[in-house]
Structure 1
Amino acid sequence: MAQFVSFLLFVVSLIAFAPLCFSAKHNNGYLFPEFYDHSCPKAQQIVKSVVAKAVAKEARMAASLLRLHFHDCFVKGCDASLLLDSSGSIISEKRSNPNRNSARGFEVLDDIKSALEKECPHTVSCADILALAARDSTVLTGGPSWEVPLGRRDSRGASLSGSNNNIPAPNNTFQTILTKFKLQGLDIVDLVALSGSHTIGNSRCTSFRQRLYNQSGNGQPDLTLDQSYAAQLRTRCPRSGGDQTLFFLDFVSTTKFDNSYFKLLLASKGLLNSDQVLVTKSKESLDLVKKYAAHNELFLPQFAKSMVKMGNISPLTGSRGEIRKNCRKINS
């Protein structure tokens, strides 16, 4: 039996770094990885090159680009609505609570779009750029690769209220977070696997301060947080001030995409409340955390699979939406 389990894990490890391919059918057409093979054959290469330069310049950018795709897809679907600046009747999603002073990497997407417009004008959507940049960021930090289904088009509007309401918040309850995922067609496996993206990136003091000083409104810290870790955090995240001070979400392997995030959760060292509730509020999610903490080779392919699933949330295809010339504004 032990030999069989070892063999099974070996097979899974081979799959972990192999590109995964999925195609998704929608009412108005398909998303498929070969979408630009004829219209813009160098598209993926261009995205990868610009992302690689940006991440080489600043390692944190990988997590920032990955997060943009997530924050885009949870509002109106994966349609690049997040990239629109305010103008005319559009109120930018960049102003929402989850994005204000926090979402970043927009200039990198401008650079990608500019390079693609030179190579093949009016062809590659900003929504597809977000999906590709998220995959490339994951790979560059040592995570899995996958084939990105392509063919999304860009929205001609944004939703500030959708951004405020749909994106899970650091202090949401487990049930609220799971409900927000289920509303997007994602399940508890997707929730736990995608939370694993917190193996890279940072969070601001303002996002977890309540855990250090006043978790339940009674002036007491969160007892589900390791107390020596909490004391360490308090030295740089005081009761007031320092809102924008950054902390690593995974202080063990800060820029490497691996399963150490899950090991930290089991040690009660998840930085955000939304991280720690994965082990304290649900037996099912706790079991998944244990599985991924024990086996990186199980976490990585599931992350890739869940990213493809997330990237398929309500895309605009066919004649819906447009291909924006500039990701920050709709075509005139």
Structure 2
Amino acid sequence: MRLLILTSRADCLGENDVLISNAFRRFGWEVIFGEINAIAADDYRYFTQGVTVQGSGEPRHVSSAAQETLSVYFFDECQLIWANSEPHSSVARDVWQMLWLASQHTAFVNSIEGMMLLNTKHALGYLVPKNNRAYSYASNDFSLLSDRYQQSPDQWWVAKPPNASCGQNVFLLPPNGPNVRTILQCLTGNAFGEIGFRPLPEQEFRTVIQRQPRHGLSGFKAEYAILQQFIPEVAQGEKRVIVVCGQATAWHGRKRRADDHRSNIAQGGKAIPVDLHSGEIELAELIGQKLMEHGINFVGIDLAYPYVMEVNIADPGGLYDAQLASGIDRSDKVAELIIDHFQKSHSPNEV
């Protein structure tokens, strides 16, 4: 049996890649690391460049396998494909299209349509019960978000892009904050007020704005932002829960730095050992089972109970940090659940 793990580069692996690879190899599978940005087609038969894993390695370091010469691997010669990274933005549209087409013939751990459409903060309203998510607004119009912020003068808010990860561009907005206007303008693309915009008579200006909303000298510039009520429970730290085939399988806590409101590991947060109580397990597995309806079988869920802060589908770190925090490697359980799920849902010659 052959598993193809698609990662950004075969010589610089993500934190889950090695643990997952070693676990599948312990179950007797052949594992290949393939580059997601190198996908190509030979008469509509899809392949990528990669290396067969010969030994173990450490996350985010060059592994012994990745030092070998890249070879070509066809998707239809693999029984299972795990897209464990997102394609670069310059080729993303083509890569997603080819991956979806390939997925019509080969099993993927996480469905391509699920990765494309549900790996976003917009999806929280669909995936998470109302009582377990913070109230939020989404818009690419700075004035709408600014008006909503001003309507609740005593409320703390968080502003962030809907499709960024690792805590990038996440801002804490206090009541009457002096930089709120600037932050919201920045997050929504600074679509108005460009330097060099020619002043127009009022009537003509209104006509231009009505005809070309949020267009500047360089064209349409608006970007979406989320304005979300700040949840005090976050100050106590968040928990990352890895849910596999609907089961909470590994977890760790995240302790934020004293000088930062974010607890993301990428932003200096520290992985710490934690326990999950029954309510946290039930909530995480409820979301995991909902995601399985859309072909998502491996996900990282961030909890500040009773709230869900994030649902991470594309390369959700957590296995390695959970092992560091607890001393327990749960990757064999991950592989067991994935293999069992696909053996039940696919014919023997597929998996």
TM-score > 0.5, shorter chain as reference: no
* The structure with more helix, counted as a fraction of residues: 1
**Quick check: which has more Rg, 1 or 2?**
2
Q: Pick 1 or 2: higher relative contact order, CA cutoff 8 A, min separation 6.
A: 1
What is the TM-score normalised by the length of structure 1? Answer: 0.28
What is the TM-score normalised by the length of structure 2? Answer: 0.27
* The structure with more strand, counted as a fraction of residues: 2
